[in-house]
Amino acid sequence: MTLLAVERIKLFTTRSPWWCTLIALVLTIGFGALMAGTSEENIAPLTIAATQFGYTFGLVVVMVMAALAITTEYRFSTIRATFLAVPNRPTALIAKATVVAVLAAIVGEIAAFGSWGIARLMKPNVDLAINTAYEWRAVAGVGLVYGISAVVAVAVGVLLRHSAGAIAVLLIWNQLVEPLVQLIPKVGDDIHKWLPFNVANKLITGNPDPSTRDVLQGPPPSDAVLGPWPALAAFAGFAVVLFGIALVVANRRDA
């Protein structure tokens, strides 16, 4: 608990997490409003999935926030001050990842319910009640994916130690590599089904109810083979393994 308090103080006594939180919320909720505002009953009806269209943009910002939380420590050598105060490096880094993941999850939930809420306000006549398991996953699942993605970002930050490098790797991987892998002939689609962010996306977009979702509305559904919850477990497992590697490396490396 002590270490969680330490990391909480560190995170909230600098400005970047506040800015990243604000940008993530404005982006996602803004896209929710955009989807609601441009929807038309017959051509592009507003659905719960459609209100979550902006979640990947918020995800990118949240990962930048998480990566910065650790890489700025390396940049300003406060990581050394941290390891002097807490020589058990794995516990110090686990505390950091936990605090960052919790913040990311909260941002995700506010972003998701905010996007859904603003759509309801703008289109009170459209039925946007959250009834089915799919609808709950599509909204509440965003926070879970953000939280786990934050752990991935912290792990990459620990391994690379440079803000620019870590952010570049995360963005290129999330925004370019995963979508573009599908273009590889023959094997591309099979690889894509198992890439971590696509797997995570399965929780939010996977197994839609035929009655509530037209495939063309909202974020494109994930083609991951796992079911939505096993997919989330797989994504969490991936994050844990990557973070475990980062802990081993940080523990062995000269600080």
Partner 1 sequence: MIEATGLTKHYGRTVAVDNLSFTVGEGRVTGFLGPNGAGKSTTMRMILGLDSPTSGDVRIDGQHYRDLHQPLRTVGALLDAKWVHPNRSARAHLRWLAAATKLPRSRIDQVLDLVGLGAVANKNAGGFSLGMSQRLGIAAALLGDPRVLLFDEPVNGLDPEGILWIRKFMHQLADEGRTVFVSSHLLSEMAQTAQDLVVIGRGKLIYQGTVDEFIANATESTVLVRSPTLEKLGEHLLAAGAGISDDGDALRVSGMDSAAIGELAATRQIVLHELSPQVGSLEQAFIHLTGDTVEYRTEEPALGTTEEGPTA
Cβ neighbours for 234, distance < 8 A, ≥ 6 positions apart: 196, 199, 226
With respect to partner 1, which residue has the nearer C-beta, 81 or 180?
Answer: 81
CB of 85 to partner 1, least distance (A): 4
Give the closest residue to 148 by CA, choosing from 93, 208, 187, 108: 108
> With binding defined as CB under 8 A, does residue 19 bind partner 1?
no
The torsion angles phi and psi of 186, rounded to 5 degrees, stand at 65, -65
With respect to partner 1, which residue has the nearer C-beta, 82 or 198?
Answer: 82
Indicate the helix (H) or strand (E) that contains 239. Answer: helix 228-252
Q: Using the rule CB under 8 A, give the single segment among 21-29, 81-89, 209-217, 234-242 that binds partner 1.
A: 81-89
Q: What angle do CA 120, 210, 202 make, to 5 degrees?
A: 80
Residues in the interface with partner 1 (CB under 8 A) total 26
CA distance 67 to 108: 16
Q: Using the rule CB under 8 A, give the single segment among 4-12, 43-51, 115-123, 186-194 that binds partner 1.
A: 4-12
Query: Pattern of binders to partner 1 over 39-78, x per CB under 8 A?
Result: ---------------------------------xx--xxx
> With binding defined as CB under 8 A, does residue 161 bind partner 1?
no
> With binding defined as CB under 8 A, does residue 125 bind partner 1?
no
What's the helix, strand, coil split of the chain in %, to 5? 75, 0, 25
Binding site for partner 1 (CB under 8 A): 2-3, 5-6, 9-10, 13-15, 72-73, 76-78, 80-88, 252, 254-255
